[in-house]
Amino acid sequence: MKPYTNRYWNVTMFNSAFEIIGEIEAAGGEAYIVGGAVRDALIGRPIGDVDIATSLRPEEIQNIFEKVIPIGIEHGTVMVRYHSESYEVTTYRKEEGYEDFRHPDEVTFVGDIREDLARRDFTMNAMAMGKDQTIVDPFGGQQAIKDKVIQAVGHPKERFFEDPLRMIRAVRFASQLGFTVESKTEEAINEQAPLLKHIAIERIANEMIKLLAGQHFSQGFHVLCTTGMMEEFPLFQSQFDVKSHVPYVSLNSWPEAISYFVEKGIGENVKDWVKEWKLSNQIRHSAESIRMAYKEFQLTSSITPWLVYRLPRSLDQSFVRLIQAIHGEDHRWQVQLSEQANELAIENRKDLAFQAADLIQLFHDEKKGSWIEEYMTRIERTVVEGNIKNDYETIKEWVQQWNRPVNN
């Protein structure tokens, strides 16, 4: 085998991993970089985690390296800390029996990297790279990348029965890479989509948001619908239509995705989505903030200062993407939001020159009540909208002209 080279190749990104492999080989073992890191390097995508497979057992790896964490030692996996980076190192293995549709009932350590690669999901993920940069590719992963196809290793039905989540992973890769799903692999997905009911919704949600955020998301949506997978997802059953429900741009987070689908009539509200997909309260709060901002946007078809003021800055990009997902990609919304944010008179109520204590003092004869919040919101909005200067005397003089508060 010859070292792999292409115009994207940058071997330095694997230097530390190659050093780990060298240490393992010096101890009499064999080791390779495996999985997504090899795939992404060949495609030219940014490299994430770098995983290593080895012929040595976990206890032997522990004897070689100074810092080793036994994160899954019963399945042959340890975490090696090397040059302040973490690397999962797993013994070559084969797996049998998947009663829970996720974890193998039996794991057997083997001595051949090819046996280890045979248990993986797709051919493009079933490659290994040695420290001399040679590629072990027993299932045609390089050709699959060249042809831009996602193909299951071996028999697709067996791979998907082992872990039905792999079906969503196939579509997620189609969305991210723009690859097509190979015909036999797609046929197996179409037949086995109902197996997804055995998968925890949290796992599905993790893959789903990556799919929605993919550069080729419309392609992913198409596969979801044509294979019947969409029917297996909470709130999507029989409601999703490719022609009317596919967004114009990708949805990069659950808050913006939820906001988009609720606006399109899929699910009645944010709480339904959070409950059915078992999402966090933080996601719920963010989605509700984006929904509130979009309702404000609908009133004027513009991004107003009051809208921008109430929208948390961390959600600016999600809100713009929501508008673009519904109305089409248009950079003017980003420009408008940025301009409004930069011109805000105040960033929050604490910045007001006239506070609640001043209001109470001004109407000291009145009993405290809901009027305080009502009046402060009125002051706040008027200052934000630029209709009055944020100055104590100016606000005080203006408030004095109001009718006296009415307690509820």
CB 258 within 8 A of CB 287: yes
Q: For residue 77, how many other CB atoms are within 10 A of its CB? A: 19
Alpha helices by DSSP H, listed for 100-216, are 113-117, 141-147, 156-162, 165-177, 183-192, 201-212
- Helices then strands, each counted (H, E), the chain: 20, 11
End-to-end CA distance of the chain: 83
Residues 9, 44: Cα–Cα separation, whole Å: 7
Residues 40, 277: Cα–Cα separation, whole Å: 30
How far lies 187's CA from each of 105, 152, 160, 181, 298, in Å? 27, 11, 11, 9, 43
- Packing angle, helices 316-327 and 332-343, rounded to 10: 150
Q: What is the DSSP letter of 164?
A: T
SS (H, E, C) 244-297: HHCCCCCCCCHHHHHHHHHHCCCCCCHHHHHHHCCCCHHHHHHHHHHHHHHHHH
Residues 121, 136: Cα–Cα separation, whole Å: 16
Q: What is the DSSP letter of 312?
A: -
Residues 395, 399: Cα–Cα separation, whole Å: 6
How far lies 216's CA from each of 181, 220, 281, in Å? 13, 7, 29
CB 24 within 8 A of CB 18: no
Which residues fall in the annotated binding site for Mg(2+)? 49, 51
Which residues fall in the annotated binding site? 36, 39, 49, 51, 120, 163, 166, 169, 172
CB 270 within 8 A of CB 262: yes
Residues 341, 312: Cα–Cα separation, whole Å: 11
Q: 28 by DSSP, 3-state: which?
A: coil
Which residues fall in the annotated binding site for ATP? 36, 39, 120, 163, 166, 169, 172
Which residues fall in the annotated binding site for CTP? 36, 39, 120, 163, 166, 169, 172
